[in-house]
Amino acid sequence: MISFRSSLLFLLTAGLLLACQPSTSDEDTQEINAQETADESTSIENDTSSEEEDETPQPQTVAERIAEIKALYAKIQSSPNQNKDCTNKSKTVINYDIIEEGFPMTNKAKSCQLEENLSYEQVELNGYEWGETTSFYYHEGKRFFVFTNGGAEGCGYEYRVYYNPEGEIIRMLMSQNECDGREVSAPFEVTKEDQKQEIIRSITYAEKELKELLSAKSDEK
């Protein structure tokens, strides 16, 4: 049986233990709550930042851009308005360097506006036993594709030039025959710098002739 003295000793010991426990003031409680709120806020910000990084648009690949170009080109080719809203110009020049009687050569140009902010321009250049047609394709006023086909005597060739939305060339393809009058080969990518520059010069010259024809008086309206 527990004695009165033992009971009293137990109560005194328990009281001392409770008195030694650290107390938490209101200020301490507020500080702890504030820290927990700050930690939660930081965690949310980090989660949001990660989500924003994940949603950042990735750069368009060359393959994706060319697929987009082919879709735009197909819209132009299938448009019922392809030849409706067009400006046509032509100019005939007599060249006396070839034969004494003179040889007439007619160059033609046209500019056409289609639906969905699509448009194209085309210039047809002709000479003695040679001819070349270059077409420029645009979407929202920006060039996305150029196609050239031409020939001189038995030699035939084609150029395909693809552009990114900033107007930079991203791919060049070329087709040609063996100057035997046959169909041109399947297109292959141009990798040699001298060939690239030759194609660029050809396109630049065609564009210059196109602008001159469209801005000048002509045989055709």
Q: For residue range 114-152, list pLDDT tens digits in order.
A: 999 999 999 999 988 899 999 999 999 999 999 999 999
Looking at mean pLDDT, say which of 80-84, 108-112, 178-182 comes out highest.
108-112
* Residue 146, token pair as written in the block: 């150029």
Rounded to whole angstroms, the Cα distance separating 134 from 210 reads 9
**What are the angstrom distances between the C-alpha of 174 and each of 152, 162, 220?**
16, 12, 32
Residue pLDDT, tens place only, 34-69: 555 555 555 545 555 555 555 777 889 999 999 999
Q: How confident is the model at residue 193 (pLDDT cuts 50, 70, 90)?
A: very high
**What are the angstrom distances between the C-alpha of 61 and each of 64, 166, 170?**
5, 14, 10
Residue pLDDT, tens place only, 76-103: 999 998 888 999 999 998 877 777 777 8
Return the pLDDT at 20.
47
CA angle 207, 212, 218 (to 5 degrees): 130
What ranges do the domains of the chain cover? 62-215
pTM: 0.73
